[in-house]
Amino acid sequence: MDKNIPYKIYLGEEELPRQWYNVRADMKIKPAPLLNPATKQPVTLEEMSKIFCTELARQELDNENAYIDIPAEILDFYKMYRPAPLVRAYFLEKALDTPAKIYYKFEGNNTSGSHKLNSAIAQAYYAKKQGLKGVTTETGAGQWGTALSMACSYFGLDCKVYMVKVSYEQKPFRREVMRTYGADVTPSPSDTTKVGREILKKFPGTTGSLGCAISEAVEKAVTSEGYRYVLGSVLSQVLLHQSVIGLEAMAACDKFDIKPDIIIGCAGGGSNLGGLISPFMGRKLRGEADYRFIAVEPASCPSLTRGRYAYDFCDTGMVCPLSKMYTLGSSFIPSANHAGGLRYHGMSSVLSELYDEGLIEARSVEQTSVFEAATQFARIEGTLPAPESSHAIRAAIDEALKCKETGEEKTILFGLTGTGYFDMTAYQKFNDGNMSDYIPTDDELEKSLSQLPDIN
């Protein structure tokens, strides 16, 4: 071990970022505006405020302010589990016999087990401040619902979660954590909403999808007095809150004179990757430094690498604003054998624009190779990673192995977004040798892509 760099770099509480960083302020080409699905015109603050908390809608539309103060109440909550450590993966480096230096930012140090709490607490705070009774949301694998349940119980808000049915059945413990924090959890599609009943009628026996659960949660919010809808990823406000990851990582790097060459994150809706890279991207956009950024997505849900950059619905029920993003089409549902998370059909409009401009690279990886990397990491570095995070581990290991071939001493930083304790059915599948890879054919993708709304 390098005696100048500890295994775990912990910043002090006083070094917690006091402001979030909004990368949109430094982007020359701004992400395309969200459109009202009825009028196809850019959504106004007033329209957005019917679905979202007003302050969050304001953040969603803010392309100008680079720094936004983190309210003191949120900072206090952050202190329960932040700053999160930046870890030098010395053991992994040694096992791979690579000259590369590998660091990871670990976001699994809280009960929800992932980075999602960073935005959940912010969204719950603004809902409370607005005097709302509660919020509705969807959850896929369950991490977002868990994080939001924790945040809502902290501020005394009601929390209604629509959980994708397949996860509801496969992850009973996630469900119980949410209920323990006081949330009301419904498997989606359900008969508690109009859109849910329609989807059930059209696709009997469906195991659900994120897009469908979003539609249900939005409907519930707009038809219940004193409720708004909150979303755990994809939206620009979520990337803003998640910038706390990147700001801390950058402060830790600067403190120890660590200069990452490659920054890697897994990409579902893009919030952890966006949060991790935002401040570094800011430096790149301002010409102060250069980095390679790599988004890693599942081969079975490849929105960046095989999707189209177009306006699309964020949800199956087509009630949310339209977003211009890399998308597989809102009716896309990953194959049933997919166990690694990151199942959303689209990508953050911020990351989509940065990717379209060539400022970010993207690659897709197959799930067996992801679980190989996860297992290798767990055995060497000790932490059992979430399957989602393991997409980033896969790419980090691959980049480190490339350095071994070329002899380059690159510095690699990746986001370890969470722990895998609640994902043991997926690990079981892998351990039993029952996990297979599935890559959708072009024809299959064309089926959902051909249903993209005709706007541009």
Rule CB under 6 A: say whether 298 interacts with ligand PLP. Answer: no
Work out how close the CB of 59 gets to ligand PLP at its nearest, in angstroms, rounded to a whole number: 16
Choices 167-175, 197-205, 266-274, 358-366 (CB under 6 A): range interacting with ligand PLP: 266-274
DSSP-assigned states of every residue in 152-163: HHHHT-EEEEEE
Rule CB under 6 A: say whether 31 interacts with ligand PLP. Answer: no
Rule CB under 6 A: say whether 271 interacts with ligand PLP. Answer: yes
- Give the distance from CA 287 to its chain's centroid: 27
Name the DSSP class of 326: E
Q: Is 214 left (phi over 0), alpha (psi -120 to 50) or beta?
A: alpha
**In the set 152, 304, 342, 395, which binds ligand PLP (CB under 6 A)?**
342
What letters, b where the CB count within 10 A reaches 16 and e where it falls short, cover 176-208? Answer: ebbeebebebbbbbbeebebbeebbeeeeeebb
Work out how close the CB of 238 gets to ligand PLP at its nearest, in angstroms, rounded to a whole number: 7
Of the candidates 258, 237, 261, 239, the residue with the CA atom closest to the CA atom of residue 249: 258
**In the set 22, 188, 349, 417, which binds ligand PLP (CB under 6 A)?**
417
Rule CB under 6 A: say whether 139 interacts with ligand PLP. Answer: no
- Nearer Cβ to ligand PLP (114/215): 114
Rule CB under 6 A: say whether 266 interacts with ligand PLP. Answer: yes
Alpha helix positions (H), 87-162: 90-96, 117-129, 143-155
Rule CB under 6 A: say whether 143 interacts with ligand PLP. Answer: yes
Residues 6 or more apart whose Cβ sits within 8 Å of residue 92: 102, 377, 380, 381, 397, 400
And the tokens for 199?
């989807």
Of the candidates 21, 109, 105, 118, the residue with the CA atom closest to the CA atom of residue 77: 118
**In the set 219, 388, 399, 423, which binds ligand PLP (CB under 6 A)?**
388
**In the set 24, 116, 241, 306, which binds ligand PLP (CB under 6 A)?**
116
DSSP-assigned states of every residue in 23-53: GGGG-SSPPPPPB-TTT-SBPPHHHHHHHS-
Nearest residue relative to ligand PLP (C-beta)? 418
- Give the distance from CA 229 to its chain's centroid: 17
Rule CB under 6 A: say whether 199 interacts with ligand PLP. Answer: no
The residues in 223-242 that bind ligand PLP, with binding defined as CB under 6 A, are 233
Work out how close the CB of 393 gets to ligand PLP at its nearest, in angstroms, rounded to a whole number: 11
**In the set 31, 189, 260, 269, which binds ligand PLP (CB under 6 A)?**
269
Rule CB under 6 A: say whether 164 interacts with ligand PLP. Answer: no
Strands (E), 158-279: 158-164, 184-188, 227-229, 262-266
Work out how close the CB of 368 gets to ligand PLP at its nearest, in angstroms, rounded to a whole number: 19
Rule CB under 6 A: say whether 253 interacts with ligand PLP. Answer: no
Q: Contact residues for ligand PLP (CB under 6 A)?
A: 114, 116, 143, 233, 266-273, 342, 386, 388-389, 417-418
